[in-house]
Every structure is written in C-alpha cells, then in structure tokens.
Chain A
Amino acid sequence: MESKPDIDDLVARLRSRVASRRRSGAYPAGLEEEMTGHFQRILHQRRAPAPLPDLQGPVATAGQALPLEAKRIPAVSGLPGGEVFHKTVARVVGRQTEGILQQVQGFARPVQAALEALVAAVQELEKTIHVDVAQSLDALYERQAAQERVLAAAGFADRRVRAPGFQPWFSSERFEDAFRGSREEMLARYRGLAQRLVGTERVLDVGCGRGEFLELLAEAGVSARGVDIDPDLVKRAAERGLSVAEEDAIRYLSDLDDQSLGGIVLIQVIEHFSAQEIVDFVALAADKVRSGGTVFVETVNPQSLYVFAHAMFLDPTHWRPVHPAYLAFLFREAGFAHVDIEWRSPPPVGDALEPAPPDSPAASLHNENVRRLNQLLFAPQDYLVVAIR
C-alpha cells in the first residue's frame, strides 16, 4: 500500500531535522558504526562464559561433617552383645578418641573456612573476568576509535596510518633516484634557493627526503633541521651527518615553540598533504616562524597541463595539486606580511610549440595563439610561494 503524502512529508521533516542536528554536531558522526561494531563484537567475538563446576555443593556437604564428636560414632552392631561391647570399648578409649577428634577438628575447621573463602573468591573472579574485563576492553576499543576519529578530523592523523593500503616493496631512495634526478642534479637545481636563506637562523626543511637541501643550507652556513615521515630516507640523511627527525611534519611543527623558526622550506611536499593538513600547516607556519622569517613552498603547478602529463601522477603518493592562488591566499589570511609567487621549471626547450617566423603571413595572430596554447599546456611546471612573516 502506498503511504499517504502526509506521512512522506513527516518523514522528510524528520530527515531534515536529523541532518541539521548532525551539521550542528549535536548528533555525533559515526555513532551508528560505533554501536553496530560494539554489538557485533559482543555477538561474534566474545566467548560465552564456560560455567564453573559446582564448588559450593561439595564444600557445604563437607561442612555438615563438622563438628567431629565421639557420640556421632555409631555403636550399633548386628552381633549379639555387640552394641554393649562397642560401648564398653568406646568408654575405655574415650579419652584418646576425644583427643584425636579435637586434633582433627583443629585442622578441619580452618580448612573448611578456607575452602568457603576460596569458592567465594573464585566466583567473584569469574564474574570480573567474564563481564568486567570484557566491558572494559570494549570501552577501551571504543575510546581509541573515537580518539582516532577526532585526530583524523583535526588533520593530525598520521599519514602512514591513514594510507595503510599503499606499502610499496621498492625503496623510496630508488624511486627518488629514478624520477627526481640524481643528488648532483638536485643540488644544482636548489643551490640558488638555499643561498636566499643565508643569514637565517633555524630553518626547518619539511619533507627533507634524502637531505640535499639540508646539505645546501649547511654549505651556505645556515643552521637547519629536517623532518620526514619516510624512515628509509631519514636514515640515509642521518648517515650523512644531517640533523633529521622521523615524524609527521604537522605533529612535529605543532610541538615547536612559537616564533622559534627563522624559516620553513617545503620542496615538492605540499601536494602530499590533505586539504586539512594544508590549512593546518599554514596556520602552524604563521605561529612558529619569527617576524621577518621566510617560508618557501615549492610544488607542482596545476595551471600547467604539462605537469599532469609528467610530474603529477608519477608519484603514487601525491594527493592533489594545490592551486597557487589558493596557497597565496592561505598565507595572506594567516597573517604573512608579504606573499609572492615565482614560476619555476619551464618545460624543456623543444617541448613547447614554436612561434612562426615574425615576417610570415598572419604571424602575429598565429603567434598569439601559440602563446596562449603554450601558456595553457606548457606553463612552468612548478611554482614557489615565498611568504615572509
């Protein structure tokens, strides 16, 4: 049977009420999964408590034998005169019998009390283990899950944890060698940038990789430290005597004192960040860099289509390119006094379209078209944001 429109309207109203309470945070996100998970764990993972054997019964039966008394020893006999005989013997050995009984009693009473205490303790323990421990474990699992969600929502998630699916068998260093150029090429390419930091105290190289830029900074006499989450690369850099830390950059930055850095450098790193991490990073940079200090962020330029055919998708850990206008906006919003964009790495000569010789017919129109096409397809592959605090 079709439901009447007024019921549909009511359901629609209820739905929008739920949606608005979710938006306002009154209804927590993920509660349904949490509750389902909890119930499924109870249903499928917890073993049913095995019933304890009956301990109370036998202990109570044993207790009924107390007190031990000579008069409870039967004197009945099937033989003629047997009962008289037993009673006579009992009288004769009465003193010894009482003595022995008292000794046994002295042993039996405390043993009985101990047994009763043990049975009670075992029963209490059983309740604790099967109910309380299971409950505490579930509560802990749930608290852990809730905290991980909060951290993830705040952008503090460890990126190694968040992308557990990608665990390449090749070494990061081999990958860097194959696609980012040799150490010498890297040194040549970034020497100029390092020179611009001469006179700066305490520079942090975020995502320092093999440490080429740290070497350049050392060469220029700039005190610097690197941070990277890749243990292979950090190990290699440390072996070369560079000061590096293996940690998540956002977490590392947030632990530093405010205004404790002279500069921060991110070379081809920010495209690995999530949207939340990017905004968190810029806010942290504003806090940690001293007034007058410089932040360099070099990354692939999404305004160049050439980049998408080359650098962008070569690295499987790239998240998304960051638009230069957006990044510049972020730094300005965060309070950086001066923000500039520099275009770097034009495509190799020969890849871009050639303009026609100037005197050929319709050359100026043609050349304008070539210029536009080149701008679209062959814009510089990288840009550098220079933000001065």
Chain B
Amino acid sequence: MEIHQLVVSASPGDAVTSAALGFQTLLQRVGPSGLFARYVDPALHGTVFPLTVYEACAQPDDLLVYHVSIGEPEITRFLLGRPERLILVYHNITPAEYFATLDPAFAGLLACGRAELCLLRGRADMALAVSRYNARELESFGYQDVRLSPLPVDVSALREVEPDVATVAELESLDGPLILFVGQLLPHKRPDLLLYAYHALTTHLLPDAHLVLLGPGRIERYRRALQTYVAELNLDRARITGWVTREQLAAYYARADVFATMSEHEGVCVPLLEAMSFDVPVVARDYGAVSETMGDAGLLLPPDDDPFLVAEALAEVLTSEGLRAEMVCRGRDRLAGIDAEAAYGAFLGHLVDLVGTGAGM
C-alpha cells in the first residue's frame, strides 16, 4: 500500500501545495509517496507530477489524500472511477459570488467545488478539515464524522529567515507607523475596505501612517483597480507590492507596526500567525476561521463594513502602548499553542485510524 496526495493546482508559495509538500516529507519517511496535480507550475516539475502519471503506477490498495480548495471536474471524475480509498482534506472554497462578474470562469470552478464535495461524499472514506470552521461547512454538506486536522504551520520558520537587507534599509527610511496586509489581492480579502479605512485613518487620525498591501494579484483588472484607487485618492504613503521573496516578506513583517486584514473568507489565515511570530499586533474582522486562528490574541472587529471603526481600531493599536504590549504578549501565548509536529501527528493518527480499519492492511 502506498499513500499519495492530489491537489488541483500546484504552485510555489500556495498554502495548499505547501501543506501537501509538508505531508509528503512526513509520508516518505514510511514509504513511497507522490504528490500529483491537474495543473503543475513549471517551477515544481520533478517535485509534483501530473495526474496522468499516477494512473500509470496506481495500485487498487493505495490510499489517496485529496486536498480540496476549488472545483476540478476532471479530478472528481477520476476519483469517482477509481477503487483506491480516499481521504478528503478540506481547505475551504472561496464563495463564487466574489468573482461572478470579475472572472466568471473562476467563479464557475468555485461553484463546481461545492457541488463536487457533495458528489464525493459517498466516495470518501474519511473527511478531514483544517479548521473547525471548515469542519462545520463539511458537515453542512452532509459529511459525518469530520475530523479536525490542523495545518502544520511552522511559526518560527519565517522568523529564522534573514530579512532582505535592501528592503530593511528602504523600510527603515519610512517615518511613521506601518500597517501591513499579506494575502492575495482578491475581492474576498477586501483590500478595498482596508484602503477606505486607511484613507479615513490618514485623513482624521494618523496622517503619517503607511500601508503596504503585499500579495499576488492574480486578477490583473482587480489589482490595477486597487492601484488606480490608491493613486486617485492621493494615498502616497500606501503601496501595493506583488508577491515578494521570503527574505523580503520577513523584512516587511519585521518593520510592521500592525497587521490588518479585512478578509471575508478564510479557511485558516496563516499570515495572522506569521505576524504574531514577529510580535506584530493583528486586527481582523470576524469571518470564517479568523477568530479561531487568532484566538484572543488580536483585535477582532465585528463583521460590518464601517471604515471608520476599522480606522479607530488601527489608531488605537498604533497609539496605545499598553494595548500593544498586551496583544504582543497574547500573540506569543497563542503561538505557543501551535505545534507543527502535533499537527503532523494528528494527520498521521487519522491515517492510521483508517488504515487500521481496512481489510488486509
């Protein structure tokens, strides 16, 4: 018996791909274990293999782990026609409506994803969710006995990266506090709301604050609209950077005074934990798995759209030393509760449970 993993699309830096690669390292300690994808970024050729390669070496007694974060009819069709046992790992699927007008094809795949989850319900031998929020959603699709298998997040890894010297020097030259957002620049992350709030903040409360929106903008039209918006509001202390190296990312976290996300959909939200690892207080809104990721370590705002409330919250965190110290302290406590080894252990435990119940194992 071999254990192999499937993802829809494998690309470097992608959270689901990273998690699968982490599991692969673990699984390879006990035997051969491959990672296969429908779409493979050229940078991962040789590490991740096309789905068709798996078909050539498949054995009916294999165990397949399928990481779900979007729809892909071809993988679902493939899985429904295979005899191998199947474990689903649910990373959550962004609601399609955020992309309905902006990228209808992508919206279609997202909508497909939820439908496919229902199709695979009878096929899956075990369902794992990387957060309680995801587990509740799987249960709402009729899945039973959904188990929690936290993402193995190595919170100290980024902290150990040597920050990029040029970026550090450039950021050090900035006067005034720095607000940082890290994540994809896509509608469900609501970078627009963060810009409204930042506009209110610099107009009324802290005129010298800087804002950095850091992350890939996969939809060019949306990224350009954010850029135009920043230019037209004359937000000359705000910048939108594309995806950066880990060394540069570490430099941004090291300089940041507060981490803010207005995201309306998160299956986990790793950047919140990364920020805490740099002793950066976090401000976010209560959507998806944000509150369970953040614990009591951050300033959790209610799920409404008031840019002034966000601006006041940012100003409070940036100016109240007592509050900052308390948040940093709670952030450290929160991270102490996150253990990548324990997460790997939990994942292995679930596998053993399934394999142990299988005939002939």
Q: Which A positions have Cβ atoms within 8 angstroms of B? A: 1, 3-4, 7, 10-11, 14-15, 17-18, 21-22, 26-27, 31-32, 35-36, 38-39, 42-44, 46, 48, 135, 138-139
List the count of A-B residue pairs having beta carbons below 8 Å apart.
74
Q: What are the residues of chain B within 8 A of A11 when measuring CB–CB?
A: 299-302, 313
CB pair B225–A27 under 8 Å, yes or no, is no
Q: Which of B102, B302, B307 contacts A32 (CB 8 A)?
A: B307
Q: What are the residues of chain A within 8 A of B312 when measuring CB–CB?
A: 14, 17-18
Q: Is B229 an interface residue (CB 8 A)?
A: yes
Closest to A17 in B: B312
Within 8 A of A (CB), among B290-315: 291-292, 294-296, 299-302, 305-309, 312-313
With A11-B302, A26-B204 known as contacts, the answer to whether A39 contacts B229 (CB < 8 A) is: yes
Q: What are the residues of chain A within 8 A of B295 when measuring CB–CB?
A: 1
Q: What are the residues of chain B within 8 A of A31 when measuring CB–CB?
A: 196, 200, 307-308
CA of A35 to CA of B199, assembled, Å = 10
Q: Can you list 24 A-B contacts with CB-CB less than 8 angstroms, sorted by A residue number? A: A3-B291, A4-B296, A7-B296, A7-B299, A11-B300, A11-B301, A14-B316, A15-B309, A18-B312, A26-B204, A31-B200, A31-B308, A32-B305, A35-B199, A36-B196, A39-B195, A39-B196, A39-B229, A42-B228, A42-B232, A43-B102, A46-B228, A135-B232, A138-B232
CA of A44 to CA of B101, assembled, Å = 9
The 7 closest A-B pairs by CB, nearest first: A43-B225, A35-B196, A14-B312, A4-B296, A42-B225, A18-B308, A3-B300
Quote the shortest CB–CB distance from A157 to chain B (angstroms): 26
CA of A38 to CA of B228, assembled, Å = 11
In terms of DSSP, what is the predominant structure of the interface of chain A? helix
Q: What are the residues of chain B within 8 A of A15 when measuring CB–CB?
A: 309
Quote the shortest CB–CB distance from B313 to chain A (angstroms): 6
Quote the shortest CB–CB distance from B130 to chain A (angstroms): 15
CB pair A27–B204 under 8 Å, yes or no, is yes
Closest to B330 in A: A4
Chain B count of residues within 8 A CB distance of the other chain: 34
Q: Is B247 an interface residue (CB 8 A)?
A: no
CA of A42 to CA of B196, assembled, Å = 14
With A22-B308, A27-B200, A36-B196 known as contacts, the answer to whether A14 contacts B313 (CB < 8 A) is: yes
CB pair A3–B229 under 8 Å, yes or no, is no
Q: Is B192 an interface residue (CB 8 A)?
A: yes
Q: What are the residues of chain B within 8 A of A1 when measuring CB–CB?
A: 291-292, 294-296
Q: Is B82 an interface residue (CB 8 A)?
A: no
Q: Which of A18, A39, A138, A139 contacts B309 (CB 8 A)?
A: A18
Q: What are the residues of chain A within 8 A of B98 when measuring CB–CB?
A: none
Q: What are the residues of chain B within 8 A of A38 when measuring CB–CB?
A: 229, 232
Within 8 A of A (CB), among B177-197: 192, 195-196
CB pair A7–B225 under 8 Å, yes or no, is no
Choose among B228, B291, B308 the residue with the greatest number of A CB atoms under 10 Å from its CB: B308
CB pair B296–A3 under 8 Å, yes or no, is yes
Q: Is B222 an interface residue (CB 8 A)?
A: yes
CA of A3 to CA of B305, assembled, Å = 19
CA of A197 to CA of B221, assembled, Å = 68
CA of A93 to CA of B291, assembled, Å = 90
Q: What are the residues of chain B within 8 A of A32 when measuring CB–CB?
A: 196, 305-307
Closest to A49 in B: B224
Closest to A43 in B: B225
CA of A206 to CA of B295, assembled, Å = 64
